Structure 1
Amino acid sequence: MPVAADLEALWQNQDRKILKRINALLQDIARNGNEGMGKPDPLKHGFHGYWSRRITDEHRLIYKVADDEVRVAACRYHYGR
């Protein structure tokens, strides 16, 4: 499973527009928590405590805010594809 640095490098090479969107979402999360841009949506079942935000129609940012830091679980595809 790729780590954040690997995913950042992947988006840097494949689509910088998506990388900029991910960074904007992360900044918004740091400022506003679980409110703001990207249609924040709490996840259920095995992802209790995690939230989803739309990067594009195909990709979602899955994250959790814990101990004043944002922990990214995924930022590619839609809900673990």
Structure 2
Amino acid sequence: MIPNQEKIYSFEETKMFSDHLEKHSKNGQLKLIEKIISFLSEIEKDPKKGTGKPEALKGYGERDVWSRRINDKHRLVYEIFAEMKIVKLLAAYGHYAEKKDKNKAF
């Protein structure tokens, strides 16, 4: 029997992330919100592994910014602060490639 992994990372939400969740909710995207919640339960244990094709994003300098595919249109984007065991939730609406200035987008 494999023991359950305990929560290792805690979350910080940006206003942008909260606004994105609200937007999905207003649009009736409940399955999409459920998928995000599922991702979060994986991320709190290991932010670099799991479903949604976790991918380190380039172009953020020293920042450890990752994304997971929610669906074809939307990505969950987050930044990992490994030394503090914190994951900052940056965005959950749209696709990071749509952002023109990555450093200012989050």
TM range (shorter): 0.7 to 0.9
Q: Is the 8 A contact 2:68 2:75 kept in 1?
A: yes
Q: How many residues of Structure 1 are paired with residues of Structure 2 in the alignment?
A: 81
Query: Distance in 2 between the 1:26 and 1:20 partners?
Result: 10
- Structure ID, larger Rg: 2
Which is bigger in relative contact order (C-alpha 8 A, separation at least 6)?
2
Give the number of the structure whose residues are more often helix, by fraction.
1
Alignment TM-score, normalising by the size of structure 2: 0.66
Name stretches of at least 5 consecutive residues in structure 2 with no aligned partner.
1-14, 99-106
| Identity %, equivalent residues | 31
Q: CA RMSD in A?
A: 2.0
Of residues 83, 87, 90, the one that matches 1:70 is 87
Superposed structure 1 runs of 4+ greater than 6 Å apart: none
Q: Greater shift after overlay, 2-11 or 67-76? A: 2-11
Name stretches of at least 5 consecutive residues in structure 1 with no aligned partner.
none
Q: What aligned pairs does 1:1-81 form with structure 2 within 5 A after superposition?
A: 2-14=15-27, 15-46=29-60, 48-66=63-81, 67-79=84-96, 81=98
Alignment TM-score, normalising by the size of structure 1: 0.84
Query: Distance in 2 between the 1:78 and 1:4 partners?
Result: 13
